[in-house]
């Protein structure tokens, strides 16, 4: 913001919030990202150069700080963490007024997998490496897109290329269906039992699958959720 803001609480806050990407960077940190490249992955369209700049100005505003161990990246300060109140108000507002069902171009399976990775319940996963292959069947024309999710203890990652590990669970559904699930518009359990999501693999892993994933923080508020 070029000119210093008016002495008014809303203007003071707008100085942070009205700068592109700032809120989204905070969101990434609030949802668990710490390292530069992880933050960057969650923000398609943001260049590394600009992310670097923004992190600096956010540090200048006292919203984030470099972690003690530099390889741990960044962490939110108390002030930064408290921005969650604003994020919640904003997300809730959007859900009420500008969150219609996505059109096809808005579906981004890779990014969605990255969000779902963030919501993994590591403590409910088996205490060993688990590899899941997701096949997205959105468009019959293209060859179906595939993404691999690898969870191992506290670590997890998402790959676009075959990691060449043994696959524990194969999951097949449209990207749209996964979006509906993530945003609480559709129940995972019913989607599996109804065959909309098809799973295969070792029996007890397939049985556990449904408990591994969380939902979007706004899932409870999105219109069109299952009856």
- Residues of the shown chain interacting with DNA in the complex, contacts defined by CB under 7 A: 2, 20, 35-38, 45-50, 52-53, 55-56, 71, 73-74
Q: Which does 73 bind (CB under 5 to 8 A by kind): DNA, a second copy, none?
A: DNA
Q: Which of 45, 141 has the CB closer to DNA?
A: 45
Q: What are phi and psi of 76, to 5 degrees?
A: -80, 145
- What character string, x for contact with a second copy (CB under 8 A) and - otherwise, covers 18-57? xxxxxxx--x----------------xx------------
Half-sphere exposure of 201 (CA within 13 A, CB side): 20
Rounded to 5°, the CA angle 28-176-214 comes to 45
Among 83, 149, 181, 192, binds a second copy (CB under 8 A): 83
- What character string, x for contact with a second copy (CB under 8 A) and - otherwise, covers 105-144? xxxx--x---x-----------------------------
> Shortest gap between Cβ of 81 and a second copy (angstroms)?
10
What is the binding site for a second copy (CB under 8 A)? 1, 3-4, 6-14, 17-24, 27, 44-45, 61-62, 79, 82-83, 85-99, 102, 105-108, 111, 115, 179, 216, 218, 222
């Amino acid at each position: 913001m070029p000119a210093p803001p008016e002495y008014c609480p809303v203007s003071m806050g707008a100085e942070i919030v009205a700068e592109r990407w700032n809120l989204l960077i905070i969101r990434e940190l609030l949802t668990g990202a710490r390292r530069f490249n992880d933050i960057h992955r969650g923000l398609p369209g943001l260049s590394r150069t600009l992310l670097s700049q923004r992190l600096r100005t956010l540090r200048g505003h006292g919203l984030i700080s470099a972690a003690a161990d530099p390889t741990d990246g960044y962490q939110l300060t108390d002030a930064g963490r408290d921005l969650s109140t604003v994020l919640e108000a904003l997300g809730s507002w959007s859900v009420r007024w500008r969150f219609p069902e996505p059109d096809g171009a808005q579906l981004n399976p890779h990014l969605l997998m990255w969000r779902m990775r963030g919501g993994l319940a590591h403590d409910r996963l088996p205490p060993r490496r688990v590899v899941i292959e997701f096949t997205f069947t959105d468009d019959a024309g293209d060859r179906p897109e595939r993404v691999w999710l690898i969870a191992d203890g506290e670590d997890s990652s998402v790959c676009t290329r075959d990691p060449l590990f043994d696959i524990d669970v194969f999951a097949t559904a449209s990207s749209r269906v996964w979006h509906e699930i993530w945003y609480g518009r559709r129940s995972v359990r019913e989607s599996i039992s109804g065959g909309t999501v098809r799973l295969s693999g070792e029996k007890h892993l397939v049985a556990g699958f449904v408990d591994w994933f969380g939902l979007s923080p706004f899932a409870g508020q999105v219109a069109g959720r299952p009856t």
